Amino acid sequence: MTDTPHFPLSAVVGADDLKLALCLAAIDPKIGGVLIEGPRGMAKSTLARGLADLLASGQFVTLPLGATEERLVGTLDLDAALGEGRAQFSPGVLAKADGGVLYVDEVNLLPDHLVDLLLDVAASGTNLIERDGISHRHSARFVLIGTMNPEEGELRPQLLDRFGFNVALTGQTLPAERGQIIRRRLDFDSDPAGFCAQWAEPQAALRERCTQARAQLDRIELDDQALAQITERCFAAGVDGLRADLVWLRGARAHAAWRGASAIAEQDIEAVAEFALRHRRQEQAPPASPPSEGQSPEASNTSPAQGQGQWGDMPAAALPTGARRDVPSWPKKP
């Protein structure tokens, strides 16, 4: 049976920050997943499903809100136990998500112990089950995507911190962009296969870019100079613990790989700063860096990466056709 087509990530209008965060998490799953905050109707699940297509397995697994711990981690196969008298492992959601995307809608409404367990496995890449007379270990490497509407309840700070990136979406979309979103959704609903075929080329380019970035990742050094900048800014932001430093450094390296670069640059550090700090920054934190002599406070808060677009300083020959450096460079309508 043919899989139902999913809306291509390359065809999603706007949400450039979120699309970048998702791609970086796919390039390096050790970043620890992405928590998306925002109201309903912001295409959060559409974006997560589109991300699955950029991974080798294309696997997309949803954790139901009412799932039990057994459903999540796996348990004893009762048929084998009762019928054959032997202990056999029955895979859970974590095993099915291996190599793909694990999507958790309304993660703030899940029991805390399940969220804690989920984040533990996401960080280690391994699920270990020792219960009901069985001991089993299996790979569970996936990109964790959690969504929540803060109006429906907060996630405990200890759990919030354990998500690598945090991106917030707002319900305010400009009229022209809203119209474009609706038009593409109507086109997809009327002919999903035809719409996906129309976007096949930009989707393939995006998939190839992520594949090349993953191959490049380990060749980029997590250097001391980048780490020094990050640790200073984490200290200035008043974050607790050291997870922000590690996630930020990994994210900067993934962004360098995304650009096709061979080393982490300042623009890579800036590109992921808000992803790593948004849910960890203390409200009364001092400014990250004071303005230099003769520089206005407003100028000192301007990111060096602003105006470069998401392709950064990638060589022109490596840019997808029509991509510009001065605008967000997600594929346009064919």
The catalytic residue positions are 243
Q: Which of these, 230, 254, 232, lies nearest to 312 by C-alpha position?
A: 254
Q: For 192-203, give one letter per residue: b (16+ CB within 10 A) or e.
A: eeebbebbeebb
272 half-sphere exposure, CB direction, 13 A CA radius: 33
- Strand, coil or helix: 128: strand
Considering Cα of 15, then 20, then 26, then 28, what sign does the dihedral take? negative
Cross-sheet strand order for the sheet of 101-104:
60-62, 101-104, 143-148, 34-37, 165-168
Residue whose structure tokens are 């209008």: 13
- Strand, coil or helix: 204: helix
- Between CA 92 and CA 203 the distance in angstroms is 31
- Between CA 315 and CA 311 the distance in angstroms is 9
Read off the DSSP letter of residue 109. G
Question: Under a CB-based contact definition with an 8 Å cutoff, are residues 10 and 202 in contact?
Answer: yes
- Strand, coil or helix: 75: strand
> Could you give phi then psi for residue 172, rounded to 5 degrees?
-90, 105
> Could you give phi then psi for residue 37, rounded to 5 degrees?
-105, 140
Q: Which of these, 84, 43, 333, 263, lies nearest to 170 by C-alpha position?
A: 43
CB atoms within 10 A of CB 222: 12
Residue whose structure tokens are 């105006």: 307
